[in-house]
Amino acid sequence: MLVVGSWSGGAMAADPAPTANSAEAQLRAFEQGLHKQTGDVVIAPAKATLHLGDRYYFLPADDAKKVLTQVWGNPADAVSDVLGLVLPKGTTTSDNVWGAVVTYEDTGYVSDKDASEQDYDQVLSDMRDAAKERNEERKKQGFSAVQIVGWAQPPSYDAKDHSLVWARQLKFEGSKGPDSLNYDVRLLGRRGVLSLNMVSDMAHLPEVRAAAAEFGRAASFDRGETYADYDASTDKTAEYGLAGLVAAGVGVAAAKKLGLLAIILGFGKKFIVLIVAAGMAVMRWGRKLFGRKEAEQDGEVEAAPADTALQAEHPNAPSSEAPAVPKSAEDQPPAA
The residues pairing with 99 across neighbouring beta strands, listed in sequence order, are 199
Exposed, middle or buried by CB within 10 Å (0-12, 13-18, 19+), for 137?
A: exposed
Residue type, position 123, single letter: V
DSSP 109: B
Are 205 and 180 in contact by the 8 Å Cβ rule? The answer is no
Q: What is the pLDDT of residue 19?
A: 64
Instruction: 314-320: list long-range contacts, CB under 8 Å, 24+ apart.
Output: 314/279, 316/142, 317/8, 318/8, 318/142, 319/8, 319/9, 320/8, 320/10
Q: What is the pLDDT of residue 75?
A: 66
Per-residue pLDDT of the chain (336 residues; tens, 9 = 90+): 454 543 333 333 344 445 667 777 888 889 999 999 999 999 999 999 999 999 999 999 999 999 888 887 766 777 889 999 999 999 998 887 888 999 999 999 999 988 888 788 888 888 888 778 778 877 887 767 888 899 999 999 999 999 999 999 988 788 788 888 889 899 999 999 999 988 888 989 999 999 888 877 889 999 999 999 999 999 999 988 888 888 764 443 444 444 333 222 222 333 334 433 333 333 444 444 444 443 444 333 332 233 333 233 333 333 333 333 333 334 444 444
Query: What are the residue ranges spanned by the domains of the chain?
Result: 31-281
**Half-sphere exposure of residue 47: CA atoms within 13 angstroms, side-chain side:** 12
Q: What is the pLDDT of residue 74?
A: 67
Q: How far apart are CA 270 and CA 264, in angstroms?
A: 7
Are 336 and 130 in contact by the 8 Å Cβ rule? The answer is yes
Predicted TM-score (pTM) of this structure: 0.69
Exposed, middle or buried by CB within 10 Å (0-12, 13-18, 19+), for 163?
A: buried
Q: What is the pLDDT of residue 94?
A: 83
Report the chain's C-alpha Rg in angstroms: 20
In sequence order, what E strands does the chain have? 40-43, 48-51, 56-60, 84-88, 99-105, 146-158, 163-172, 180-188, 193-201, 219-221
Helical pair 281-290 and 20-32, crossing angle rounded to 10 deg: 80
Q: What is the pLDDT of residue 282?
A: 36
